[in-house]
Amino acid sequence: MIYLLLDCDEFLTAQRLAELKAALGDAEMADLNTTVFSGGQAGAAEILGQASMMPFLAERRLVVAEGYLSHLDKRMAASQGTDSAAHQEAARFLVGLADLPEQSDLVLIDGGLDKRRHLWRGFTLPAQDDRPARPVPGLQALIQARQIQLESQGTPDPRALPGWIQQRARSKQIAIEPRAVQMLATFVGPNLRQLDNELDKLASYASGRPVTPDDVALLVSDASEAMIWDLTDALSQRNPRQAAHALQMLRRHDANPFYLLTMIARQYRIILKVKEAAARAAGRPANEYDIAKQVGESPYPVKKALQQARSYSFEELEAILSRLLEADHAMKTGTDPDTAIDILIAELTQRARP
């Protein structure tokens, strides 16, 4: 069977490949009957050659080509015409797929392909010597003819994450309360591998009982950062009393001064990144899910940063980051760390509004 996996999430793709490899039977024999290529590491002849080999002491063979199609697609796009070497290779590959033995599974993995180009839509090789022009079916036609099975392995939309977490928990026979599911989705975001690891950790801690929101708050590092956001909320609102309360709560949870300074600096860097991303949106509505992808953060901190960024100018944020650097130097060169944090928090709540 030939599989085309597009828009691939790393975790989902790894799970799918594990399923296909498990179907090969004995693990040792599966390794002997699995070949993996990356990017432009191999051409059409080598990939088809490996996929055409008969399995060794097993019922099936697995060949994985990750990024090959994108690499070939770019070569075709950069060529001057359909008589190029890249188009000749694409024709050899696309036509050769029909001759692969039933005992082979060929998996083509790509982040995405331009569906306006020849590799997807097909093309015609020009006449050459005594050979007439011949049409070459593209991936789209092979999918429609069911020669290729198209599978989407994209990361779930952040809004669909709670359903994915619940389904994953059921597959692992982990009982988890709905609010705990929502907290995981909010704090971790669409990092499926981390979510899977967090579920295992939470289940181990719960020891058979349902996982609760308190468990998530205690064990998931992203959730514990929520207390830091409570502090930066108070700072952005210039609310000394609320800031003092948030700082007290963090100290009750054994947060040492150096950790506090590191996390406060991290939050302000996120606020600056998010403010810059929102400014680039040029008046369009700022969506935490879209901006999260741009800045490489989870939706929860991006949502908080969007709210807080309105309270600061770019100049203020740069000044705050400089002040945090000064506090770091002072704490490392003799100033009492707790006192330095208290002074810093007092200063940040008194800054003039832009």
* pLDDT above 50 (res 185): yes
Residue 275: pLDDT above 60?
yes
Provide the CATH number for the domain formed by 158-220 in this structure: 1.10.8.60
Q: Where are the alpha helices (DSSP H) in the chain?
A: 10-22, 27-32, 44-52, 68-78, 85-96, 118-121, 139-144, 161-171, 178-188, 192-206, 213-219, 221-224, 226-236, 240-252, 257-280, 288-295, 299-309, 314-332, 337-349
Which among 5-9, 50-54, 301-305 has the top mean pLDDT? 50-54
Task: Give 221 or 340, the one with higher predicted confidence.
Answer: 340
CA-angle at 279, arms to 278 and 282, nearest 5°: 100
pLDDT band at 283 (very low <50, low <70, confident <90, very high): low
Listed range (101-110, 230-239, 276-285) with the worst mean pLDDT: 276-285
Percentage of the chain lying above the pLDDT 70 cut? 96
When pLDDT is cut at 50, 70 and 90, the band that residue 112 belongs to is: confident
Residue 10 has pLDDT above 60, yes or no: yes
Mean per-residue pLDDT for 41-58?
Answer: 91
In tens, the pLDDT along 55-75 reads 888 889 999 999 999 999 999
Q: Region 278-299: what's the mean pLDDT? A: 78
Give the fold, CATH level 3, of 2-152: Rossmann fold (3.40.50)
Q: Which residues pair with 34 in a beta bridge?
A: 62
pLDDT at 156: 86
Q: What pLDDT, on a 0 to 100 scale, did the predictor assign at position 251?
A: 84
What average pLDDT does this structure show over 163-188?
92
Query: Tell me, what's the pLDDT at 284?
Result: 67
Residue spans per domain, the chain: 2-152, 158-220, 225-349
The CATH code belonging to domain 225-349 is: 1.20.272.10
What per-residue confidence (pLDDT) applies to 354? 41
Tell me the pLDDT tens digit for each residue of 96-108. 999 999 999 999 9
Q: What is the mean pLDDT of residues 106-119?
A: 89
pLDDT computed for residue 353 by the predictor: 45
Tell me the mean pLDDT in the region 157-164.
Answer: 87
* pLDDT band (50, 70, 90) for residue 330: very high
Selected residue with higher pLDDT from 116 and 254: 116
Best CA proximity match to 124, nearest among 100, 145, 95, 98: 95
pLDDT value at position 183?
87
What is the rounded CA–CA span in Å between residue 188 and residue 181? 11
| pTM of the predicted protein model | 0.67
